[in-house]
Every structure is written in structure tokens, then in C-alpha cells.
A and B are shown apart, each in its own frame.
Chain A
């Protein structure tokens, strides 16, 4: 059972917009920034979004993040086949004194 809650799967056709939710509590998302990671099949995770909505250099602008209260979301606009991956949210948890992850969402491009 992950501290942050994500839907296990999401899907869309090429060009569509897909949104992934991440639900937490006051001790994690409610008081700290959220980061998102993309893990392509068979590879190490990669930072996709940091500080709720910032993209590292090289990340396409069709990836965007937002946060409101104790929830966050990742949106993928103009879905492409290479976006098929697992996506994880993460935030520091003040009660656990460590970072916590969501269970991951597998995105499938139909």
C-alpha cells in the first residue's frame, strides 16, 4: 500500500490528452512539492517534473504538472507512442521523515 495514491493504469490514442492523479495528505503533498518520474520499460526512472510544475531541460512541454491542496496531477498532451511507460509521483513526508512514492500508473497508447 503506497502512501501516495495513483490509478494503476491510464490510456489514450495518439494525440489525446491523458491525466494522472496523485492523492496524498497534509504531511506530504499538502506541505511539500511534488515530483514526477517516468520509467520506460526496462530502464531506470527519469525525472519528468519537479517542484510541482517545473520541467527539467530536455523534457517536452507536452508534459505538465499541477498541485492543489493534497493532490497533484500529471498531464500528457498530444500523447505519443514513446510515452508508453510507468509514471510515479513522489513527495517528502514530514511524518515519515522521508520521501514517499505513489504506486505508479502504467500509461498505454492505444
Chain B
């Protein structure tokens, strides 16, 4: 059974940093691209970043480019999101998701999410 478990969320001041983790199990982690998607309170889904399975290529939404870094440790089956220079508008539930086989907008398994609150 595929499981994705996020951790690392919490309350942080504007300008601060946070690192999210996503522990994966139930599939060959190294063989799949992985992504982060966020959802601000009461709002819709917004893509944050994706990392490929092979060469580890990364892509970012313009809103987080230069501030967030996605990475993966295939030996630990873990996905990360390093978030720096956090802003109030980054407040959201952050979901990690496994990318399916039909394309990089096909997210076939999702974690339960971790809440990040940016506030003074």
C-alpha cells in the first residue's frame, strides 16, 4: 500500500525558514517523480514544485522560485521541501504527491498534508 507521510509544518515568522519532509513507502520511490502541492485556507490547489526520478531535474512555480528548494533522498525514500524567506501568502497545507505514469499533472497518491503558518 502506497503511503506518503508529511512532517515539518508549523508556525514560523515572516522571513523565516522551514523544511518539510515526506516519507514514502509501498512503492519504488526512486522510480517516480514527486511533487509538492499547497492549499491556502479556504482556497484551491496550487502546484509548488516537482522533482524528476532520473536526473533529479526540478521545476518550480514562479511564486516560490528562488525561495524554495525541492530535493529527494532515494536511500531514505524521503522527499523534502526547503522553504526560505517565507511570506504570509505561503500559509497553506502542503501536500506531497507521487507523480503517476500518464504525465506530470497526474498525481496518483497524496499524503495527508502538513500545515505551514507564516505569521508574526
Contact = CB atoms under 8 A, between A and B. Distances in A.
Interface of A: 2, 32-35, 37, 39, 44-47, 50-51, 54, 56, 86, 88, 90-92, 96-104
A97 B110 contact: no
Contacts of A45: 37, 45, 95, 107, 110
Contacts of B73: none
Nearest to A97: B59
Given A92-B103, A104-B44, A47 B50 contact: no
A32 B100 CA distance: 14
A1 B23 CA distance: 32
Residue among B47, B100, B111 with the most chain A CB within 10 A? Answer: B47
Interface of B: 35, 37, 44-47, 50, 59-62, 95, 100, 102-113
B45 A47 contact: no
A17 B109 CA distance: 27
Given A2-B44, A44-B113, A101-B44, A56 B108 contact: yes
Contacts, number: 74
Contacts of B102: 33, 35, 50-51, 54
A64 B109 CA distance: 19
B105 A91 contact: yes
29 contacts: A32-B105, A33-B103, A35-B103, A35-B105, A37-B45, A39-B45, A44-B110, A44-B111, A44-B112, A45-B37, A45-B95, A45-B107, A47-B108, A50-B102, A50-B108, A51-B102, A51-B103, A51-B106, A88-B44, A88-B45, A90-B45, A91-B105, A92-B104, A98-B60, A98-B61, A99-B35, A99-B50, A101-B46, A101-B47
